[in-house]
Structure 1
Amino acid sequence: MNDLELDGATQEAAQDVERNTDQQDRHDEAQKEEDDFLDPSRWWFASTACPLIAGTFGPMANAFSVCALVEKWRVYIPPGTDEGHGIKVEDPKWLIAINSISLVFALIANMSLLLNMARRLSFAIAQPITIISWFMSSFLLIILVAIASTSIFRIQPMQEHALTQAFYYGIMAAGIYFIIASLMVVTVIGAHQGHYPKEFRLTPSQRTLMLQTIGFVVYLLLGALVFSTVEGWQFLDAVYWADFTLLTIGIGGEFVPTTHTGRSLLFPFAIGGIVMVGLVVSSIRSLVLERGKAKLSARFRETKRQKVIKSVNMDRRTIRVGIFEKIDFSEKGLTESQRREQEFRVMRRVQEKAERNRRYTALAISSTAAMLLWLVGAVVFMNAEKPQGWSYFVSLYFAYTSLMTIGYGDFTISSNSAKAFFVFWSLLAVPTLTILISNMGDTVIKEFKDLTIWLGSLTVLPDEKGVYATFKIALKRLQFGKLYRPDNEKNPTPESSKQTTLDRLAEHIEDEELGEAEEAAEHGDTIERDIHFYHYVLAKEIRQLMMDANVSPPKQYTYQEWSYYLRLIGLDEDDSSRHRKPRVENKRSKQKGPDLGAADGGKDENDDRFTWSWLGIRSPLMGNTSEAQWLLQRLTRTLELEMHKMKSPNGKLRNEQPPVSMEGLRNRQGSGDSDPEELLEKGVNSAEVRRRGRS
């Protein structure tokens, strides 16, 4: 008797442990999702963007340091020539020594950062070395630039002497070192405050961009070295030539290959450079699409969600989702499923509005950056080319033709400062214009494409429904204050809402692979039959979701589809215990009870589970993953838990009734006029029954 009692107590304890473990896993998973949504969005720039910028611009600054070291800083201008064709003046030894030490510090910083990113050097050791080395390199170059700008270094008369391109490359290198070192300080501060791990979690595309940037810079300098030798150019003039050649600007002027060897080498050099530039552009674009858009979209969705929730007017029973758009919103007299569907449709509209705002905000930011690059660049070229008498309009013209890689060659720069600045300016234009073009593809180009197709459907190329049907749909889309939906989604009837679930499950019944379920049914074990059927449905839907996860653009599911999938993972939309409680209104207080968009609306009295709302922070539509990926993760997790239950020694867990069964579907097939809701309830146990079984 004692053994039986002990065995029973052991089984109950094991059951409690399994139940609590499952509940804790669900809670930890929900908490992790919320933390992943909120915290990395705020600290993504410090944790990822800062080291990425440093790792990308660090090699560029190293290249500028090399350019500042390999040539003299002063030049004598003979009568009748300009500073671009002057005679070099020897530098003092202390300048060469300090310049060399600065380059060594910079190389140490880059090597330390790369080793840390490759996890060959710890964060605690690598970051102090990287930051201190870059700051030292910057300060040494700043000292040199400051001294070189005074009369102590400049040779008199100053009208007959000038500073070379090497001096200006030193200025740019010092500025870049200081900026990227400061960015790494921000990264270290965020890591020490615990906002992200003390390591760099760079994606393969981010690492690829860094390696491609390093490769392109090395390729540029080596090509300049070869052509300076072959064509007899100064090395920094060859760097200037290699830059506008590889970026396909083709300014021309006096720097063009004239020897047979130089022209022959141009074929492989240009092809290789264009390929490398294309790879860099592709990496930048994929990087923006991969991480930047996801994080920006998350912040815009959250901001829009909060505004929409605050706009609820219970007196007028409306909710505002846009400046000119209101949607009917009332919880009075609605069933649980209808209330949930109402929230779902509002959240879907929030998604659409937030994504549109994100696209046009990104376009505005990238357009502003491109405009500043153009306008500020023109100011620099105008001041640098004063000996040629360039006006601001001429500088704008030159900058524009260079940015667009038109390169007429009717205006060419000749000053040392303009040549050095042009190299940095044109390299900076690569990511700026790449991001701009990407954002234009999401907005202006897309709108123009849609407009072209729409006009064609109204004129020369009408679709299958004809011109009248197309025009009617267009009018509906232009109506303000109404939420347009296709006819098959607008005001779905209860029959069509439930038919989605019935049709899906009926397809599984007809499949020949339900042998185990049929065999269990022959032995009269209906629970085992339903469990096998439930497992089969999960496996089948997981396979379908795997295909949906690869669709571009990401697939969005209707509320009926979401209701079906949520039922499969045990989150029945008709089960109010897992949902936000409806508002309670009275005359004294307009609002009472849980918040409409709260992260959780409290806990159920009989279960340690968080409730959630479609308009809450834990809504599946608020995550950083696509809807198919979200569902795929949940269904996979559910199938794993079901397999675990089958192996469990606890009989109650093994025989727990699944959320879907075959009995109701067979009844549905045998009766043509029965109510779908009633038939479904015969074979589909709700979360209420399962909760009673656990309690």
Structure 2
Amino acid sequence: MNDPALDEPITNAASEANDNLKQKIEHDKDDALSKADEAEDKAYALSTGWWYASTGFPLIAGTFGPMANAFSVCALVENWRVEVPPGGTEAHGIDIRDPRWLIAVNAVSLVCALMANLSLLLNMAKRLRFEIAQPITILGFWVASVLLIGLLSYASTDGFHAPGVQDQALTQAFYYGIFAAGLYQIISYLMCITVWGAYRGAYSKNFELTIAQRTLMLQTISFLVYMLLGALVYCKIEAWKFLDSVFWADFTLLTVGIGGDYVPKTHLGRGLLFPFAIGGIIIIGLVVSSIRSLVLDRGAQKMSARMTEKTRARVVKQIASAERKGHASNKPLFGLSKSIANSLAEDPADDKVDELKRRKTEFEAMRRVQEMASREREYLALGFSSTAFAILWFVGAAVFWKSEEGQQWTYYGSLYFAYTSVLTIGYGDFVPQSNSGKPFFVFWSLLAVPTLTILISNMGDTVVKGIKEGTIWLGEISVLPNSESHAVERLKRGLYKATLGKLSFPSAKKDEENANTAKTIRDEDNDWADIHETHPGLVKLFDSSERRKIDPEAIKALDRRADAWAAAEEGDENKARENKDRRAEAEHHYRRLLVSEITKVYADTKLNTPRKYSYLEWSFYLRLLGEDEADSSIHRKALPKDKTHSVQKKHGRHNTKPNHEDAGSQSNKSEGPDSAAPKWSWIGEHSPLMGGKDEAEWILERLFEKLEESFRALSHEHDRIHEASNDANSDSGDANTAEDHDSTPGEDGSPDETSSHNKILPG
């Protein structure tokens, strides 16, 4: 079966099938990467309203759904009517038994709501499909709400009045039913918006939530179950009604401590308070942490991304407008200095300014845009949270004022009580006693937890930071050491900084400029020191003069930290160097650098505060990815959005990220409009600093892509060498069929190809 006529077609067919399979795999990978990039763009372009629909509303449902369930339990366990004794109050009324049908309908409402909550929880945990879970969630909450609304409406009429009872009142259970029905209605409508947006294609049907956000619902359930079980225990120990015990457990676990008639008086109750209170406070701490994570991790990031884009677009539009009017150099633009504005107006093709300096100016302008957007977001968030707190305070005080008319509370007294309660001061001189005031206090105080948490977080970013900076400023103009020896000069410079240069003094302005220049020099020196310390190998990619500054021990330390694969690459690099194969040496060194930098950047992604890289570091990474910041052919000046879209329409849509070529080859260049390499600007719409991801994540993904490309090139080279070897053996066999197989090497003295497996030819 060694017939050449038969063997050759089989070999060719196998090779062709293998090539087709590889091409299909590569096509699938490219298609997957393309879809991932589209998904990233789609997520970043998602408006704030759609973010609330895709993430905020499900989290509201997951947080307040269990609260509504707890209120439904409270509405079910006690009767809805009491007889008020002569001279007594409704708080100490005699229960009137509810009709059985009312209890049955109330129980059905609770079961529907529990099923809806369970479905939502399983959907968030990815244990139940979106298409199955959401109809159950929406219908469950809506049916539970409708049933409760029907019962509440009937209970509000004279038909619910017990016969033969002169004076009767509605109990706390009735008011808990109102809060439960209202929450169910709101949650069902919010989830309808979420489902509508998902089926419209505005976002994915899967909830992309962080771990803290996924556990928020479980933590809320844990706290409410803990509070209800504690209330059940204390209602037996202290002989209270269950809903009075719920009222006590709420102001105890939230550390309000208003006291009144509901304080433990038995030794057993006081003894159990020690573990009960500390356990509840721990759970509350977990809930507060998750709420803070929700606001800072997702809400703040999304809001910051949108405001950065709006600020960037305004800056670019204003620069373009000033350039058209011809006075870009006459005044600062949007908080940017004249020199930065003039550099941004320059075209990369012009030789008026050095390209590296122009790009660095763009980078600094983008950092300035980020700072302005961050400050605007912080104060806008503070305004929203302060408004929410004010509404909670003033509206809550109005409700307490009406519900406690029997105690003759004034509105000012209600404001005082609401303020001392929401800040957990709890003097105890004002205590709700009505059947409507106690349930509302429980509901209102639970709302105060996320409201106050968000407000304090936002105040830490703005008010507290301002007080700290103000203290430093007062110290600079008074007693703290400063470069100015005279108090008058310190005061001038302090006023210059405090008014952002509007109140200017020549000496203060000059001192500030000198200080900024010195700071810039120090920052650049620190950047170079950091790069030499953390990225010694990358210095080789820039200036050969920098090689003398590299500490050999740092390189050895870098090599010692490399894993087994990097050590193997180093060995192959040494072999290539001995063989004087510059290309193979560069390829092995490049892959070793990629692994080293991936390790460092991955560590940066795990920092609590996302790291922002300096321009020098970004230049290093872009060079490693195949782009040269000094190459003006791949750059363009930022255009307003309307012009950007017209350019994209004319020449094809601009890629969402720089198209990096392999390092070791020439940097990618755009030779014309139809070139595959995109042109981009640091302050442009598709700047790496504009993505929805952290800078470390952006760089890490691109480094992984380059490493994968390098491995793919290595695999292709192995296949090429193997096919060339098979073709040579086949030709030798055809030419020497009558001779012995152990033939001598050819006259050309070609070397053994097996030693070439560790080489990568440029693509």
What TM-score do the two structures reach when normalised by structure 2?
0.76
Shift of the alpha carbon at 1:38?
A: 0.6
Q: 1:27·1:610 contact (CA, 8 Å) conserved in 2?
A: no
1:622 to 687, 690, 693: 690
Q: How far 1:151 moved relative to its partner?
A: 1.6
- The alignment status of 1:489 with 2:502, answered yes or no, reads no
Q: Which residue identity lines up with residue 447 of structure 1 in the other structure?
A: G
1:220 equivalent in structure 2 = 227
Query: 1:428-485: CA deviations, max 9, x gaps?
Result: 1001101111111111112222333444455555389999999898645753489985
What is the CA distance between 1:61 and its match in structure 2?
A: 0.6
Question: 1:270 matched to which residue of 2?
Answer: 277
Residue equivalent to 2:667:
none
Q: Which amino acid aligns with 1:165?
A: Q
- Listed one character per residue, the Cα deviations across residues 88-132 of structure 1 (whole Å, up to 9, x for unaligned) are 112122221221111111112112222223333322222212211
CA distance 1:173–1:486, shift in 2 (3 Å): farther
2:393 aligns to what? 374
The within-5 A match list for 1:267-666 is 267-312=274-319, 313-314=322-323, 315-317=326-328, 322=334, 327-329=340-342, 330-331=345-346, 333-456=352-475, 459-462=478-481, 475=496, 478-480=499-501, 487-489=518-520, 501-502=542-543, 507=550, 511-512=555-556, 513=559, 516-580=572-636, 594=647, 600=654, 604-605=672-673, 607-649=675-717
Alignment of 1:5-20 (within 5 A): none
Aligned-pair CA distance for 1:516:
5.0
> How far 1:372 sits from its partner (Å)?
0.4
Structure 2: runs of 5+ lacking an equivalent: 1-7, 503-508, 533-538, 560-569, 657-669, 722-761
The AA in structure 2 aligned to 1:573 is: E
Aligned-pair CA distance for 1:245 = 0.5
Contact 1:583 1:593 in 2 (8 A): no
Structure 1 match to 2:115: 108
Tell whether 2:90 aligns with 1:83: yes
**Mean Cα deviation higher: 106-115 or 209-218:** 106-115
Structure 2 CA distance for partners of 1:20 and 1:454, relative to 1, 3 Å? farther
Question: 2-side partners of 1:119 and 1:80: how far apart?
Answer: 57
Query: 1:162 aligns to what SS in structure 2?
Result: strand
Structure 1 equivalent of residue 217 of structure 2: 210
Would you say the 8 A contact 1:23–1:609 is kept in 2?
no
The one-letter code of the counterpart of 1:237 is D
Mapped partners of 2:674, 2:493: distance in 1: 49
From 198, 202, 217, the equivalent of 2:205 is 198
Structure 2 SS opposite 1:648? helix
Shift of 1:571: 2.0
| Equivalent residue letter for 1:410 | D
1:95-174 equivalence runs, <5 A? 95-155=102-162, 160-174=167-181
Shift of residue 534, structure 1, vs aligned partner: 2.5
User: In 2, Cα distance between the equivalents of 1:401 and 1:591?
Assistant: 55
Q: Is the 8 A contact 1:75 1:83 kept in 2?
A: yes
C-alpha separation in 1, matches of 2:400 and 2:298:
35
Q: Give the letter aligned to residue 100 of structure 1.
A: A
CA distance in 2, matches of 1:486, 1:159: 86
Letter in 2 for 1:220: M
Amino acid at match of 2:394: L
1:48 matched residue in structure 2 = 55
Shift of 1:36: 2.3
Q: Given residue 377 of structure 1, which amino acid in structure 2 is its aligned partner?
A: G
For the 8 Å contact 2:71–2:176, the answer to whether it is kept is: yes
Does the 8 A contact of 1:15 with 1:650 survive in 2? no
Cα distance change of structure 1 residues 477 and 642 upon mapping to structure 2, 3 Å threshold: farther
Amino acid at match of 2:109: S
Contact 1:321–1:349 (CA<8 Å) still a contact in 2? no
Tell me the residue number matched to 1:244. 251
Select between 199-208 and 12-21 the one with higher mean Cα deviation: 12-21
Counterpart code for 1:250: G
Distance in 2, matches of 1:235 and 1:316, equals 75
**d(CA) in 2 for partners of 1:487, 1:652:** 56
Between the aligned partners of 2:55 and 2:462, the Cα distance in structure 1 is 26
The one-letter code of the counterpart of 1:609 is A
Per the TM alignment, residue 301 of structure 1 is displaced from its structure 2 partner at its CA by 0.6
Post-superposition Cα deviations, 1:372-414, rounded to whole Å, max 9, x if no partner, equal 0000000000001111111110000000000010000011111
Q: Percent identity?
A: 50
CA contact (8 A) 1:76 1:160 kept: yes
Query: Which amino acid in structure 1 is aligned with residue 600 of structure 2?
Result: Q
Q: CA RMSD in A?
A: 3.9
Q: 1:473 to 1:23 in 2, by over 3 A?
A: farther
Could you tell me how far apart the structure 1 residues matched to 2:719 and 2:327 are?
Answer: 53
Aligned in 2, Cα 1:423/1:29: closer, same or farther, shift over 3 Å? closer
- What SS does structure 2 have at the residue aligned with 1:328? helix
Show the counterpart of 1:679: none
CA distance in 1, matches of 2:264, 2:598: 61
Cα distance in 2, alignment partners of residues 305 and 427 from structure 1:
39
Which string of whole-angstrom CA distances, capped at 9 and with x for unpartnered residues, describes residues 108-159 of structure 1?
2112222223333322222212211211110111111111111221358998
- Cα pair distance change 1:466/1:600, threshold 3 Å: farther
Q: Which residue is 1:678 aligned to? A: none
Higher mean C-alpha displacement, 28-37 vs 411-420: 28-37
Deviations 1:600-656 (A, max 9, x none): 399855642333221223211112222222222222322232233233228999xxx
Whether contact under 8 Å (1:223, 1:242) holds in the other structure is yes
Distance 2:518 2:376 in 1: 26
Q: Is the 8 A contact 1:563 1:572 kept in 2?
A: yes
* Letter of the 1:600 counterpart: H
CA contact (8 A) 1:600 1:616 kept: no
* CA distance, structure 2, for counterparts of residue 559 and residue 472 of structure 1: 33
Q: Is the 8 A contact 1:517 1:528 kept in 2?
A: yes
Contact 1:322–1:353 (Cα < 8 Å) also in 2: no
Contact 2:639 2:684 in 1 (8 A): no
1:255 Cα shift?
A: 0.6
Residue pair 2:43, 2:203 contacting (<8 A) in 1 also: no
Sort the Cα spacing of 1:383 and 1:41 in 2 relative to 1 into closer, same or farther, 3 A.
Answer: closer
1:531, distance to aligned residue in structure 2 (A): 2.4
Give the conservation status (yes or no) of the 8 Å contact 1:508–1:537.
no
Q: Return the alpha-carbon distance in structure 2 between the equivalents of residues 552 and 115 of structure 1.
A: 29
Aligned residues: 643
CA distance in 2, matches of 1:368, 1:356: 18
- Residues 342-388 of structure 1: per-residue CA shift (max 9 Å, x gap): 32222111100001101111111011001100000000000011111
